Amino acid sequence: MVLMAVFPMEAMANPGLQINNMILVTDVSPGETLTYTMTISIGATDPATGIEVQVEGLTQSLDGTNGPLAPAEDTGPYSARSFISIDKNSFQLEPGASQDVTATINIPQNVGAGGRYAMIHFATQATPGTEVNILSAIDVPIVLTVTNSQLIQTGKITALTIGTSVNGQPLDISTTFQNTGNHHYKVQGDVTVSNSKGAVLQNIVMPLTGSSIVPNMSMQFKTAFTPQGNLPSGIYSVNSKIMLADGTVLDKANGRFTIGSVQSPIKWLVIGVVLGVVIVIGLIIFLVVRRKHK
């Protein structure tokens, strides 16, 4: 079976490395074999360039950027790296020339459920004898979904970080969210800041992500609460919520920050109890001494 990319497109990396069909997103069935061809080229004014090709795992940075993961580290259950072979690992491109590279993807019968992910990594080689080389690379994500399998879309907020509060200044708030399911998905969310009485001061919308979060990967959402002038002293709450594109809530997290000096009611309660005990003991001592003098 020969497939074209779901979203055929062309990418360019400095100084002139180009590739079409730069992402494969498709459904697959257990036991299926498919091929995927990519065409790599350089510009007519570029020097002859050596190209290396490797199949690697797929990882994501906290900003959602996809990147290659070395085979030794690509040990998770959602890797498609071992399914993929390529027809050439290196070749030479002359100025203005192009080269097809075909990946063969063999889906195991026991592939399991959910999504499987890999990256085909193209990189230019250093030219021997040249003092200065401009090296560039392009990564082609391979995103597979096993048909008729259970797709689990779950996740959790692993960190809600609130910056240092300075009255009247913007307050940085970041939410780190991890995909704990077995399939990629996009998310959206919001952060609500409220005062000690529960009145909402600001609702900050986190729009739908441009890229999906791959299973076991995390994405960080950075927002800022901008107060309208100085705030009264007190304890303020921060509530962060992450949702699927259809509004299904995946997880919530709560935090707080303090403006000014706020005395803890527990501290005053303890002080009151201690003073009460001291007064009672003093009164008992006074009565005992008074009775002895009678």
* Domain with 90 in it: 2-146
- The 10s digit of each residue's pLDDT in 220-237 is 999 999 998 899 999 999
Whole-number mean pLDDT of the chain?
A: 88
The answer to whether residue 269 sits within a structural domain is no
Residues 53 and 17 occupy one common structural domain? yes
Give the separation between CA 248 and CA 223, rounded to whole angstroms. Answer: 21
269 or 25, higher pLDDT:
25
Residues 161 and 63 occupy one common structural domain? no
| pLDDT classification of 288: cutoffs 50, 70, 90 | low
Residues 35 and 166 occupy one common structural domain? no
| pLDDT classification of 276: cutoffs 50, 70, 90 | confident
Give the separation between CA 149 and CA 153, rounded to whole angstroms. Answer: 13
Domain CATH for 85: 2.60.40.10
| pLDDT classification of 164: cutoffs 50, 70, 90 | very high
What is the pLDDT at residue 260?
84
- The 10s digit of each residue's pLDDT in 165-219 is 898 899 999 999 999 999 999 999 999 999 999 999 999 999 999 999 999 999 9
Give the separation between CA 84 and CA 38, rounded to whole angstroms. Answer: 14
- The 10s digit of each residue's pLDDT in 127-138 is 655 544 456 889
What is the pLDDT at residue 9?
40
Residues 60 and 130 occupy one common structural domain? yes
Which pair of tokens denotes residue 116?
A: 């499987």
**198-199-203 Cα angle (round to 5):** 110
Flag whether the pTM goes above 0.85: no
- The 10s digit of each residue's pLDDT in 91-145 is 999 999 999 999 999 999 999 999 999 999 999 887 655 544 456 889 999 999 9
Number of domains making up the chain: 2
Beta strands in the chain (DSSP E): 2-3, 10-13, 17-20, 24-28, 33-41, 49-60, 66-69, 84-86, 90-93, 98-106, 115-124, 137-146, 155-162, 171-179, 187-194, 200-206, 218-225, 234-244, 249-259
The answer to whether residue 220 sits within a structural domain is yes
**Lookup result for tokens 């921060």:** 238
Q: Are 172 and 222 in contact (CB under 8 A)?
A: yes
Residues 18 and 90 occupy one common structural domain? yes
Give the separation between CA 14 and CA 138, rounded to whole angstroms. Answer: 10
What is the pLDDT at residue 8?
38
Give the separation between CA 59 and CA 219, rounded to whole angstroms. Answer: 11
What is the pLDDT at residue 17?
83
Give the separation between CA 88 and CA 97, rounded to whole angstroms. Answer: 16
The answer to whether residue 279 sits within a structural domain is no
Give the separation between CA 217 and CA 213, rounded to whole angstroms. Answer: 6
Tell me how long the chain is.
294
